[in-house]
Structure 1
């Protein structure tokens, strides 16, 4: 069995004896409680394997109890968790906590008493927009990188959805018609809603299981238990859905794998794309990565021949116009938007809503000294100061501390000036410029899911753009230069993805205006050549030895722990280390770059060092128990922001 413990030194299988009175309930995958041979403690875990005998020569401790006889840990999930953990130098139990929802006793009893569901009966669907026969019959083992169609499509009930949701829904329905399951993994709840609406329009709502963070714990656990039945189904959810149980898995599909929401924020920090690749190799199912803008990781797999490219036939692309703003430093809407774009907005508002994408939420997300222009920072955490609303006092965007008594660290002046406009100020300025039209703001604080076809100005941050009925009459990307100014290895790739997803919300032939950028990424966006740009980005990273051309491992901890981990590696790897350096928290940080062929061996060695460091204990004070030592070394493979 595997113990449910955060200690890395306990990340292996333990042998326990099954008492006769528990033999009927102690099935493979059941939750059990076992004793530990220290201080009379106990621990929970899962049964991974059953055998008649043990290689251990001594007497085995018996199971304490069977917490639940429902086999929630399937052999497939255990193998997947073990492979994913080994690949990322993590613990298999950390993966299982992400995959298996917490137990809900009442839900479990209701599920056990209910009759198993019947096998759904559905008809095959064509996948419109692509060459006949290309995607209509995905065979097991086929792998594709799909360039999604950048348009909107209406359901039979008149609800407008992105076209990609119908593409993935049709692929999943075709698998269901052949008696196989499908897993559709998307970044956030808005995408989940789009897919559920598309599947409902295709008439398969009853065979769909939702698995995302918006669900209640009871609903999520019930959806997981339903997957244990030997009946095909379609699973729709965010990054953890890629682990969901699915009978006879025929398809794994990821939408927009470049979105950072696919990256797990808990150890072992595995990306859903990597889990999908591992699970596809295990199951032999079909694999699809679909997006408007291709990630460099997907492009690498295409160039290796692992994925095959599929594009719409005939090619469909938005009408993109690249325009340079007239004033780079002024913050008024007239300066941020050139006269040609101003006229386009005025004309488009006669026909429908206009989308304006901005970089930041709030009113003024950045402030600076009025005299010398130095960026204003919080005196407590050194975070950026902002104005949340037009009448609010300056406060820190990180910790919320009010900037009372602030003075410039350079010239000691006490007055601010605004250096960036967020959704609030942009809405205020455009509302004054177009007083006859309604202004709608959609950002992380007040997201909007959809807007009607009536003329309106929709101000939205990237990723929070609502879907307009029939599409937007015009799309303005006004803070493109500020988006590109972010310090990140992936900044150009991210910007192209943000702009492409916004452009896909435009009505046919509606103008999409990119303002203030003339870089190569703008040319790729204007020509709708995202795969070419991803290929060029990948070629540059190969020359520099940066991911995804190589794998990276970020080591964080005390200086002694990081040095010990690097010293334990073979000499040829120690020469490819960036650092160690010290981060803001005072920890030592080093970045190791390693070729894919040697990554497994390096992960095993780093994992051994993590276990050795965790096994060390502080010397206890006489008469007192030893305190728990904090982790001295953390390893994160493929950190997307390692050079930010």
Structure 2
């Protein structure tokens, strides 16, 4: 059997008929990450068009692989032999558009990864029944709502609208406020601003892609969009949808109808006809970091797509990430803020003193206690804490050694009041726990989670309802009645009319985390919570002073991001430079580093011991990052194709490749 011939990278060509199909395989193997040429049989000529799913033969034992036709040509370049024919056309729907293919290829090359890995994120698994129903609906030419009128974008004058109309790139400072929609729903003001910008885009006959971190933000933005657009102009695509709904929404995105596409990080790869706007809200959120190879951050994918499509790009948020600030500093993004916006009233306090016994018991500084007591009479009070659960971390009550599981050595926790301590990793109950250091049997609480905080504040505010919002209890909205709302960072519900007070209770504990980005992360968590307060309501920051507290109190987050970026430049840390982690066995890592060691400006830290081998950190300027990615990708391919001896007693077993490259690895900063 003759296999398809490998070709070099191809830029997507306009859809046209040809005798040869260039196919990208749906395979995680790095050595197969290129286009293969296959002959189009006469019986498949009508269906074998660019973008459709196909199956193709491989060299070994009659195996077939799945893939997508990227383009069709008249002849195979550089191959004079007989091409293998396509095995089948799985579906007549061209699910891979030229724009998405170009984005996947560029993003993968930038990250030293494979385009097929990105296509698995971009294109949902096929649902046959859904696809057939959708095809029939398209053949019937369904009615489409009239284009909406273009609304004004409140709070920014004409500056923002003019930049959007010119398809410019924008770093947008949103207004810290909650507003009520005509439907009665309360949402963050940011959602209304983005919805108005998206509605203007649709009114101009273009599509907008709106990317948000999680379902809470998605629900708010969807509610705001519904005020300006009919339902058939809004399409939600996110991982929380059932497979059938997600695939149906994906197919809708393939049509020519200008619409708003709303989703989480993978929505940046959604197909879109005439893309006019690409928006990412709160781009510093770690949920935008893709955990699967090639680990492309949603912001980076959006930057690439903007360059390829020429659409407007908006990075919006209450704070500004160091990555966005770098783009502002080099003039690549235009920084835009509201004309007139009143900043939240931030009060900075020290740790709890001994003026009020009840305040000390509830671990609230006296000033915060008094402000909360006054505010609770007129509405809900938000209390932001660091961790969920009752007691997320416990220690020996005698010697203060960390309490660990006797089964797996994981840290112990107390899940609820009166519960026995259990392991956070394996879940084993640590009944009859004895400290291995001092043989003590009593435990003390090192940290207090949402459950313990709710218990303490419930005693401090008798008769006041206490609500908990964290990963286990999903509360997205609360009424404007007196209540205590205990929430972990990022899980704060929206209160009708805004919160009467906001207490940032564990600020010092959050800031103590060992991570280079912890300063900007804390400022983002606190700013997002402060934006939920009603106008004039106190936002109390406890236990933190200095530049970070000053940035929150004066609402000058861009200035903090600029200072943070200057420090990163002095230290040559991301995002001032690009960095990549190279991990694997010592020999493979050494071979990969030898490829990039002589690049101008490259510096290597390590290797140091890591899980299953060693890890080294490569730092280099942005101008050299593309060449480094190409060289490291070549090292990964060579490592994957290298023959490795099977372990003794495992004849026929082929050990997996050991070399792994990850650009912009967030663990580098830990």
TM-score computed with the length of structure 1 as normaliser: 0.97
- Cα distance change on mapping 1:407 and 1:642 into 2, 3 Å: farther
Helix, strand or coil for the counterpart of 1:43? strand
8 A Cα contact 2:359 2:369, kept in partner: no
The answer on 1:54 being equivalent to 2:76 is yes
Match for residue 546 of structure 1 among 568, 573, 576: 573
State the partner residue of 2:158: 132
Distance 2:380 2:602 in 1: 56
Match for residue 89 of structure 2 among 47, 66, 76: 66
Q: CA deviation at 1:618?
A: 3.1
Q: CA deviation at 1:316?
A: 2.3
State the partner residue of 1:581: 608
Q: Which runs of 5 or more residues in structure 1 are unaligned? A: none
8 A Cα contact 1:141 1:284, kept in partner: yes
Q: CA deviation at 1:147?
A: 0.6
Distance 2:359 2:372 in 1: 16
Deviates more, 1:517-526 or 1:611-620: 611-620
Deviates more, 1:620-629 or 1:561-570: 620-629
Distance 1:85 1:538 in 2: 26
Helix, strand or coil for the counterpart of 2:591? helix
8 A Cα contact 1:567 1:574, kept in partner: no
Helix, strand or coil for the counterpart of 2:619? strand
8 A Cα contact 1:34 1:65, kept in partner: yes
Match for residue 214 of structure 1 among 202, 217, 240: 240
Deviations 1:491-526 (A, max 9, x none): 011000000000000011000000011131111111
Helix, strand or coil for the counterpart of 2:668? coil
Match for residue 149 of structure 2 among 111, 123, 135: 123
Q: CA deviation at 1:622?
A: 13
State the partner residue of 2:457: 430
The answer on 1:460 being equivalent to 2:460 is no
Match for residue 67 of structure 2 among 33, 39, 45: 45
The answer on 1:36 being equivalent to 2:58 is yes
TM-score computed with the length of structure 2 as normaliser: 0.93
Q: CA deviation at 1:531?
A: 0.2
Mapping 1:67-86, distance limit 5 Å: 67-86=90-109
Match for residue 474 of structure 2 among 447, 457, 461: 447
8 A Cα contact 1:253 1:289, kept in partner: yes
State the partner residue of 1:9: 31
Helix, strand or coil for the counterpart of 2:172? strand
Helix, strand or coil for the counterpart of 2:606? strand
8 A Cα contact 2:175 2:189, kept in partner: yes
Match for residue 328 of structure 2 among 282, 302, 315: 302
Deviations 1:359-393 (A, max 9, x none): 00000111111112122233444332110111211
- Cα distance change on mapping 1:248 and 1:150 into 2, 3 Å: same
Q: Which runs of 5 or more residues in structure 2 are unaligned? A: 1-22
State the partner residue of 2:383: 356
Mapping 1:94-105, distance limit 5 Å: 94-105=117-128
Deviations 1:458-504 (A, max 9, x none): 00000111100000000000000000011101001100000000000
- Cα distance change on mapping 1:623 and 1:38 into 2, 3 Å: farther
State the partner residue of 2:313: 287
Deviations 1:193-250 (A, max 9, x none): 1111001112433200000111111111111111111221110000000111111000
Match for residue 136 of structure 2 among 109, 113, 120: 113
Distance 1:389 1:425 in 2: 8
- Cα distance change on mapping 1:247 and 1:20 into 2, 3 Å: same
8 A Cα contact 1:120 1:207, kept in partner: no
State the partner residue of 2:302: 276
- Cα distance change on mapping 1:245 and 1:74 into 2, 3 Å: same
Q: CA deviation at 1:643?
A: 3.0
Question: What's the RMSD between the two structures over aligned residues?
Answer: 2.0
Q: CA deviation at 1:91?
A: 0.2
State the partner residue of 1:170: 196
